[in-house]
Chains A and B, each alone.
Chain A
Amino acid sequence: MLVPGKIQHIICTGNLCIKEVQDYLKTLCPDLHITRGEYDEETRYPETKTLTIGQFKLGLCHGHQVIPWGDLDSLAMLQRQLDVDILVTGHTHQFTAYKHEGGVVINPGSATGAYSSITYDVNPSFVLMDIDGLRVVVYVYELIDGEVKVDKIDFKKTTTTTHSAH
């Protein structure tokens, strides 16, 4: 499904573990953003990362630093800290997506379905975001019972979310 040339950016929460996986992702798209997970051999990935795509600010973090793991409120704290509209984290190996306080917190889950100590029955999943002006459409691709299931979430950014200086 993932063909080179169609994707403009790749955002990866971490735990790629070895360089070969990074190389593979690079073949899909040269613009690759990765943060450090606890098993990554590459030490030079940052802990958190922010980037701007279109009108949206995205934040990236692996998530093992945010305790309790996968807790929405704590992640929301991180989101406010990074001052982003969309926060992408991982570590739980389970897909979740919350709309929260004018922003979105997405956990794309594990792309490989790797074992997790906190989740039973890990289904491989990934997320495709289509950013178009002030609107982002999130397509979730999950492999459940051998079949690829697709889901869609719409999110529109309200233009008044420019923070005043504190």
Chain B
Amino acid sequence: MSREIVEEESPSLTRVVSPENRSLGALRSVRWRVSLSILPPSPSVDDLRRETADSRRRYAGLRRRLLVDPHVPKDGGSNSPDLVMDNPLSQNPDSTWGRFFRNAELEKMVDKDLSRLYPEHGSYFQALGCQGMLRRILLLWCLRHPECGYRQGMHEVLAPLLYVLHVDVERLSEVRKIHKDHFIDKFDGLSFEENDVAYNFDFKKFLDSMEDEVGSQGNSKKVRSLDELDPEIQTIKLLTDAYGVEGELGVVLSEKFMEHDAYCMFEALMSGARGSVAMADFFAPFPAAESYSGLPPVIEASTALYHLLSIVDSSLHSHLVELGVEPQYFALRWLRVLFGREFSLNDLLVVWDEILTADNSKLDKVSGNEEISGFKILDSHRGALIVAMAVSMILYVRSSLLATENATTCLQRLLNFPENINLKKLIAKAKSLQVLALDSKISSSLSTFDVAYSRSKSAVSGRNLSSGPISPNTPLSVVADSYWEEKWRVLHKAEEPRQVDSLDKLAPSGKRRWSEKVRLVLSRTESDPSAARAGKYKKGHRSSVRRSLLEDLSQQLGLEEDTEAGDCFDVSNIEDRHSVEGQVEGQDDTSIASICTAEERCDSGSGASVSEESSSIFSDPASSGSITNDHENDTEKSSVASNLSSDGNDDRHQSDLEDSPLPVSSPPEDALLSYSEENESSGKMVSASKESRHLSGRFQWLLKFGWNNVSQEASDKGVSNETAKSANRDSKNNAADSSTAAGASRPTSQRDVVDQNVMGSLKNLGQSMLEHIQVIESVFQQDRVQVGSLDNLSKNNIVGKGQVTAMTALKELRKISNLLSET
């Protein structure tokens, strides 16, 4: 037990306590249970005890019913079970063994998360007993709510609840020690010492003890009757008296029943306890049944968040929107775990105090709008406070957010909330915003907001989601679920190494060096076509390095043109080119452009960057192409690749989150055969490369295909539309940059030599592209055959319109490759 965590009677606590609960002041668990409507708000101890006992009975019954151990014979084994049904190999779903195996699978999933819970407070949370309790609670809840299942993050919602109960039990034992005489069993006014084996009425001893009580100067207070006790202690005594109402089951602070109480609290929090805000909704990937916007609740809440922010601080809001920072990137984690990962445990408890004190009942909509047109989360005080809290947190880091021009840094800031914060100020601000949020004019303006919101992708994606898949198990839903968090986590990680990897140093490992070379080379290559147009050297001092690297590149290109590896090179070149270009040109340093390194671009996040870069590559080498043409391609390709990234994320999430194995299962030949598989494998290979850190030829091949094929999904992937559009915008910025930079040319003498090499490599590229286009077209023919057989997520929407758009995309590609070859 980590005692240091226990002493956290923060001053804000007293502020929070409402008058009628003053006696419960320090007992957080009881207060929370009251707020969560598990215990009645009445001050009567008896009522509290009764309710406690009832809730515990319910849990115990549930546990007995659902936790199955077929090893243990039931009821003494008197009735022999029907062995035909109840043997371990039985296919019967009702059999004990079947249930046992199913539970075991759920448990495995839960354990994956539990092992990573609060490692900094590991002495409590990683203890076997605690883990066992958490596991059982989560398992039972999921069995009770099979429609939700277990999602990552639920364990973080549960952990503070259990912790709070634990703290109170500790407090109880402290109090017990101090006021020993009041907590000892007293029969007939006599006190039984624990170590009295045989009760011996020793009159002398009795007198002595009386004297002791009178004369003791020790740490026990000199009070006789209960009434003279501090009301808090008094309450504790009454609440924990084993002889009170409902006996031991009613002892409100009980170590024995911690699991039961924690389950009740968890259940109440998740289901919203007949109120408006239910945590379980935040884990649901589908829009709620009566939702107006058709968005999954967490997306809707994030939109509400941004809406409130736009009202409170429109400059910050517009800044974030410009950078392409979608609210759900960070809000998903904030909301799902109720800020559990943003604050330290003690701070979190204070925050939750506030949130749970807020009333959760549905507010009546007084406004004249007939339809249920509002943010569901703002339907209650608690929901409004949650949203306000989030906005207040954003405002807290306002200055650092406004300072950056880079979405990744913004997200970094938001996802790594600063450690030492003035919590009181934060909460006070949140409360003031809560009032604002509840203003009916705001909360019911969802419809107008959607229209005003330049990117109405949310609505689009929502509609797609709701109208799309037939079965609820399609990966499409999983995308919304995990996509945002994973994507930005990945981006965030990718960002750091990139900064380390400066262009100037050739990294140690061979692979890295090569890729660096390529990168540099490609940046040169990249800039040269534009140099051909108007010449530009952003970083002239690198030119000598680049030239040598460029020679390497062209050698490699020449050597391996015909082999698959050559294709890989091409692909990697193209990709590296993209990344480099992003680095070179990205003054803006948009989030997507900045993400690429040879390795990290393999991240799912970099899918978007690939799009970015892919658009760039087509913009630049197409020297005669107009800028507008480039932009079209940009749009397509960026949406394309963001789709790719979403695929990647999707599949990545499906695979083990902890240790994603190398899932590149399909050999390149297969990729040719089924293009949908490409998407899958491209997604997978994205994760694979992240893990393995080397670019297998297969990967690049597939990536290239994925990259090309993903263009077909451009119109259909509603979910990734947002990134697409933001990527689009960013790529527009990039292209604009390149054109402006092109204007400010800084030619050097070495350029001519390099030019020839560049042209050569471009020609090669053009040719290989043509080859690939032909391959894709052949795939299409085969693809028609493959349509019905695979249930890949791309399949759901793509097939019909996909082919059309794919063909147009291919035509574009052809044009461009022709241009390339001609140069």
Chain A count of residues within 8 A CB distance of the other chain: 16
A128 interface neighbour in B71, B84, B88, Cβ under 8 Å = B88
Are A132 and B71 also in contact (CB < 8 A) when A2-B89, A141-B89 are? yes
Instruction: From B71, B80, B84, B89, give the contact of A135 (CB < 8 A).
Output: B71
| Chain B window 75-94, contacts with chain A (Cβ cutoff 8 Å), 1 for yes, 0 for no | 00000100110011111000
In the complex, what distance in Å separates the CA atom of A165 from the CA atom of B717? 74
A155 within 8 A of B: no
Contact A150 B91 (CB under 8 A): no
Q: A6 to chain B: which residues have CB within 8 Å?
A: 88-89, 101
CA–CA, A1 and B87, complex, Å = 11
- Residues from 124 to 166 in A contacting B, C-beta threshold 8 Å: 128, 130, 132, 135, 137, 139, 141, 148-152
Which chain A residue lies CB-closest to B80? A152
CB distance A151 to B83 under 8 Å? yes
Which residues of the partner chain A approach B90 to less than 8 Å between Cβ atoms? 1
B95-112 interface (Cβ within 8 A of A)? 101
Alpha-carbon gap, A25 to B356, bound state (A): 57
Query: Do B88 and A139 touch across chains, with their CB atoms under 8 A apart?
Result: yes
Contact B71 A141 (CB under 8 A): no
| B 544-588 contacts with A by CB, 8 A | none
Tell me whether B101 and A128 are in contact (CB under 8 A): no
In the bound assembly, the distance between CA atoms of A1 and B80 in angstroms comes to: 22
B36: min CB distance to chain A, Å: 39
State A128–B70 Cα separation when bound (angstroms).
14
Q: Enumerate chain B residues within 8 angstroms of A2, measured Cβ to Cβ.
A: 89
Which A108-137 residues have C-beta < 8 A from chain B?
128, 130, 132, 135, 137
- Chain A contacts of B91 at CB under 8 A? 1
Q: How far is the CB of B87 from chain A (nearest CB, A)?
A: 5
In the complex, chain B residues whose CB is within 8 Å of the CB of A139:
83, 87-89
- Contact assessment for B89 and A152 in the assembled complex, using a CB-CB cutoff below 8 Å: no
Chain A hits for B71, CB < 8 A: 130, 132, 135, 137
Point out which of B80, B83, B87, B91 has the most chain A C-beta atoms below 10 A from its C-beta: B87
By beta carbon, the residue of chain A nearest B81 is: A152
Among A128, A137, A149, the residue within 8 A (CB) of B89 is A128
Q: In the assembled complex, how far is the CB of residue B102 from the closest CB belonging to chain A, in whole angstroms?
A: 12
A1 touches B89 (CB 8 A): yes
Q: How far is the CB of A106 from chain B (nearest CB, A)?
A: 16
Report the minimum CB–CB distance from A17 to chain B (whole Å). Answer: 25
Pair A130/B88 contact, Cβ less than 8 Å: yes
CA distance A46 to B447 in the complex (A): 77
Closest Cβ neighbor of B84 among chain A residues: A150
Contact A152 B87 (CB under 8 A): yes
Q: Closest A residue to B70 by CB, please name it.
A: A130
B108 to chain A, nearest CB (A): 12
Tell me, in angstroms, the Cα distance from A50 to B722 when the chains sit together.
63
Partner of B84, one of A3, A130, A132, A148: A148
Which of chain A's residues have a CB closer than 8 A to the CB of B87? 128, 139, 141, 150, 152
Neighbouring B residues of A148 by C-beta, 8 Å: 84
- Give the docked Cα–Cα distance between A135 and B77 (Å): 15
CA distance A118 to B101 in the complex (A): 40
Measured CB to CB, the closest approach of chain B to A155, in angstroms, equals: 13
B80, B84, B91: which has the most chain A beta carbons within 10 Å?
B84
Q: Please report the C-alpha to C-alpha distance between residue A152 and residue B71 in the assembled complex, in whole angstroms.
A: 12
In the complex, chain A residues whose CB is within 8 Å of the CB of B83: 139, 150-152
Hey, which chain A residues are within 8 Å of B80, CB to CB?
152
| Cα-based distance from A149 to B90 in the complex (angstroms) | 12
Complex interface: chain B residues within 8 A of A149 (CB): 84
Complex Cα spacing A2 to B88, Å: 10
Within 8 A of A (CB), among B651-670: none
Q: Beta-carbon contacts of A5-27 to B below 8 Å, as 1s and 0s?
A: 01000000000000000000000
Give the complex CA separation of A148 and B85 in angstroms.
11
Q: For the complex formed, measure the closest distance between the CB of B96 and the CB atoms of chain A, giving whole angstroms.
A: 12
Residues of chain B lying within 8 A (CB to CB) of residue A135: 71
C-alpha spacing A137/B91, complex, angstroms: 19
A2 nearest CB neighbor, chain B only: B89
Q: How far is the CA of A6 from the CA of B88 in the complex (A)?
A: 9
Q: A136 to B88: give the CA distance in the assembly, Å.
A: 13
**Neighbouring B residues of A141 by C-beta, 8 Å:** 87, 89
Q: How far is the CB of A89 from chain B (nearest CB, A)?
A: 23
Q: CA separation between A152 and B85, bound complex, in Å?
A: 12
Most buried by A among B83, B89, B91: B89
Report Cα–Cα, A135/B84, bound state, in Å. Answer: 21
The residues of B that contact A1 with a CB separation of less than 8 Å are 89-91
What is the CB-to-nearest-CB distance from A50 to chain B, in angstroms, rounded to a whole number?
A: 25
Which residue in chain B gives the minimum CB-CB distance to A133? B71
Which residues of B (51-85) have their CB < 8 Å from a CB of A?
Answer: 71, 80, 83-84
Query: What 1/0 mask marks residues of chain A from 72 to 110 whose CB sits below 8 Å from any chain B CB?
Result: 000000000000000000000000000000000000000
Query: Interface digits, B506-519 against A, CB 8 Å rule (1 contact, 0 not)?
Result: 00000000000000
Bound together, the chains give a CA A6 to CA B84 distance in angstroms of: 18
Give the residues in chain A near B89, CB-CB below 8 Å. 1-3, 6, 128, 139, 141
Q: In the complex, A3 Cα to B89 Cα: how many Å? A: 8
Complex CA distance for A3 and B90, rounded to whole angstroms: 10
User: Bound state CA distance, A100 and B244, in angstroms?
Assistant: 56
Measured CB to CB, the closest approach of chain B to A7, in angstroms, equals 9
Query: Closest CB of chain B to A129's CB: distance in Å?
Result: 10
Residues in B with CB closer than 8 Å to A151 are 83
Bound: A149/B83 CA distance, A = 8
Report the separation of the CA atoms of residues A94 and B614 in the bound assembly, to the nearest whole angstrom. 70
Which of chain A's residues has its CB closest to B89's CB?
A: A1
In the bound complex, CA of A114 to CA of B90 (Å): 25
Q: Which residue of B lies closest to A137 (CB)?
A: B71
CB distance from B668 to the nearest CB of A (A): 28
Q: How far is A152 from B83 in the complex, measured between Cα atoms in Å?
A: 8
Interface centre among B84, B88, B90, B91 (most CB of A within 10 A): B88
Give the A-binding residues of B (Cβ under 8 A).
71, 80, 83-84, 87-91, 101
The contact sample of 12 A-B pairs, CB cut-off 8 A, is: A1-B91, A128-B87, A128-B89, A130-B71, A132-B71, A139-B87, A141-B89, A148-B84, A149-B84, A150-B83, A150-B84, A150-B87
Known: A3-B89, A6-B88, A139-B87. 10 other contacts (CB 8 A): A1-B91, A6-B101, A128-B87, A130-B88, A139-B89, A141-B87, A149-B84, A150-B83, A150-B87, A152-B87
Which are the 5 A-B pairs with shortest beta-carbon distances?
A150-B83, A1-B89, A150-B87, A139-B87, A132-B71
